[in-house]
Amino acid sequence: MKARRRDRQVYTASHPVLFRLLSRTASRPVRRLGSRVVVNGYDEARHVLTKVPLDRTDARTTGGAIRKHEGEGALFDESGEAHRASRRSLAERLDHRGVLELKRHYRPPIDDAVDLLRAGHEVDVCEVADAVAGRTVDALLDLGLTPSQSTDLARAARRTASAAAAAELPSVPGRRRPPYRDHLAETFGGRVDPLGKMLALAAVTTTYAAVPRAVAWVADEGWWDLCRDETLLPVLVDELLRVLAPTPLLPRVPAGPAVVGGVAVSPDDQLVLVVRHAVEAHRRDPSVDDPAPRAQSALVFGAGPHACPGAALARAQLADVLGALALQPSRVVRAVPDRHAALPAWRELRIAR
């Protein structure tokens, strides 16, 4: 597919060595590479997330990396009652009513993009994604920012996430690790606490990674008619998020001895869950006629008690973007990969009617 060929560029441009290394392991559900255990199978990845006790503060995990740079209390590094308390707090802001309230804040830049297309102008979907994410975070954290400031917040969050990504990604030969720099703190000082910062980083990076890539896929395959169908659009959104797998791998560390897919692991090992392979994003194209099982596509948001609490918001935002842009069917006129993004993404994705 033309869309798959284009989308592959976001991997080969930003993390070419890591992409090739992980691709070579995809043929087996679980594969040991020294002290790293690469988990590609759906059943095996879900088993790790739901059955294997995990050390959420180890520096080789997402939670440990966030704790190192942002401090304690950022959800990813929590467990037990602290984790449940944080999720309860988030659930109140990200349930159905919360998403409807957030839509009031993030919808204007989407409508502005449609107006620009209608007037014959080009639209950079990456800029739209920044505006949507920035206004969402501003509303979630009640920061009271102007539209311009909320976009600045999104860009600062992306730069911070890019700097922190080196601590999360497995090291590979030839990869240089730039020094960490907290652009978000430099821009907004102490206005964002650790949990708020985690929300900002997660919301901004996933929106920036998913929305432009999804728009490119729909434009390349001419699926705008599907986006105008209220019945098919939710199915397409799930399928696009499955294939895009905005967070393509999850680093985890077992808290004790365990067995994953027949391979014995211990706290000395790092588990690299390749979500992209587990949901078959690398070989099964999105389809509204034959979609993947819902449980499999949902794995892009994790599983079990630590599944992403923002899944409903992510689906709603992508559906809103695609449904609105479908009013002015467009094609991609320029696509530039982001070579420094924390997650595989476009730096510029311009569309025109």
Tell me what percent of the chain is helix, strand and coil, each rounded to the nearest 5. Answer: 55, 10, 30
Q: What CA–CA distance (Å, rounded) separates 289 from 302? A: 25
Q: What CA–CA distance (Å, rounded) separates 221 from 205? A: 25
**What is the structure's pLDDT at 309?**
83
pLDDT in tens, 193-249: 666 677 778 888 999 999 999 999 999 999 999 999 999 999 999 999 999 999 898
**What is the structure's pLDDT at 98?**
87
Return the half-sphere exposure (C-beta side, CA atoms, 13 A cut-off) of residue 274: 26
pLDDT at 283 over 60: yes
Strand 270-274 with 249-252, pairing: antiparallel
Q: What is the mean pLDDT of residues 251-276?
A: 94
**What is the structure's pLDDT at 210?**
96
**What is the structure's pLDDT at 184?**
60
DSSP string, 42-55: HHHHHHHHHTS-B-
Q: What is the mean pLDDT of residues 140-148?
A: 88
Q: What is the DSSP letter of 123?
A: E
pLDDT at 274 over 90: yes
pLDDT at 39 over 70: yes
Contact 81, 204 (CB under 8 A): no
Q: Given pLDDT bands bounded at 50, 70 and 90, which one contains residue 128?
A: very high
**What is the structure's pLDDT at 23?**
82
**What is the structure's pLDDT at 260?**
97
pLDDT at 78 over 90: no
SS3 label, residue 330: coil
Q: Given pLDDT bands bounded at 50, 70 and 90, which one contains residue 189?
A: low
**What is the structure's pLDDT at 199?**
77
pLDDT in tens, 292-336: 999 999 999 998 777 888 899 999 999 999 999 999 999 999 999
Q: What CA–CA distance (Å, rounded) separates 310 from 199? A: 9
Provide, rounded to the nearest whole percent, the portion of the chain with pLDDT above 70.
Answer: 82
Which amino acid makes up residue 81? E
Question: Dihedral (C-alpha) 242, 245, 248, 253: value to the nearest 10 degrees?
Answer: -60
SS3 label, residue 3: helix
pLDDT at 353 over 60: yes
Q: Counting Cβ atoms within 10 Å, is residue 299 exposed (0-12), middle (13-18) or buried (19+)?
A: buried
- The mean pLDDT of the chain is 86
DSSP string, 104-134: HHHHHHHHHHHHHHHTT--EEHHHHHHHHHH
pLDDT in tens, 81-116: 655 666 666 777 788 888 999 999 999 999 999 999
Provide, rounded to the nearest whole percent, the portion of the chain with pLDDT above 90.
Answer: 58
User: How many helices (H) and strands (E) in the chain?
Assistant: 15, 9
pLDDT at 173 over 50: no
